[in-house]
Structure 1
């Protein structure tokens, strides 16, 4: 079942592109997921600034997980 032509990096890159498109269209759940992808570096470089941006967009649409993520980022890295 293992296909040597498909690797995790390729899959994550594809998922990142699809998630980005939906997030940019205003989908709060996908905005939250995009924030997670930036935190984890899945399909993209790790970027806490971008993660915060997408978490805040989702939180502004009342996504409770995103609100928790923003609060957590505030604890570990307060914005000046």
Structure 2
């Protein structure tokens, strides 16, 4: 029984395609969450709930936490 190179590559390539698809889905979800965060903070500033400096601080804290740079 002879195995072709195409069949040997099919499983690793399928796995790679699945990984790329899942990464892209997660990337899109994070991008949507960031846009929602910015929109919510902007709305809070407009309504006078927080000031611009507080919004900027919150944005920095949340983005650093997402990137794993903080200890909490």
Range class of TM-score, shorter chain: 0.3 to 0.5
Give me the TM-score of the superposition, normalised by structure 1: 0.33
| TM-score for both structures, normalised by structure 2 | 0.36
Question: Bigger relative contact order, structure 1 or 2, given CA contacts below 8 A and separation 6+?
Answer: 1
Query: Which protein has the bigger helix share?
Result: 2
Query: Which structure has the larger Rg over C-alpha atoms?
Result: 2
